[in-house]
Amino acid sequence: MSDKYKRIAIVTGTTSGIGEATMRKFVASGFGVVGNGRNAEKLAMLENEMGSAFCSVAGNAADNAVLEQLFAIANDRFGREADIVVANAGRGLGGSVKDADLTQFEDVLKINVSGTLALIQKAAQKMVDIQQNIYPESAADIVIIGSVVGRHISPFSAVYGASKYAVHALTEGLRREVGPKGVRVSLVE
């Protein structure tokens, strides 16, 4: 079954927005995709619509057990490890430093920073091991969805911007670490 798909992707946050659009583009391009989101009903609907090229794991992308499942299912379902991982899951938080609702900030940090870090770390560990034997003949990509407010801080979303600033730093550090080992790391803002 491994030759049926051009690439195997893991995409978090596939139940809406950028994550859903990315998953749809990947499936249309001949990729096998394992998606993630918290809305199990929406994931089931997407599985029915997309067919055998898409399967999903419901749950919070900041949960290590969910991340383990994503990688295991990619291999079990499609017969090989994921060679592209898109860290898209996240959430916003409006408000300035002075006025932001800090009762929600821990959740923002957990999904936007800790969850992203856990996902890209796991992806990097797996991909570096694989690439040492097949690079440069084969591609491996880690794509992180950031935000322009991580670089151009707005007083109206500075707290959220701080989480995306952290994501930018993690991405750049990972790029410098694993790029020379055959894993491309990209930040999309």
Which sequence positions are flagged as catalytic?
A: 160
Residue positions counted in the chain:
189
Question: Which residues, at least 6 apart from 103, have a Cβ–Cβ distance to it below 8 Å?
Answer: none
The H-or-E segment that residue 170 falls in is helix 158-178
CB 188 within 8 A of CB 146: yes
CB 146 within 8 A of CB 81: no
CA 170 to chain centre: 13
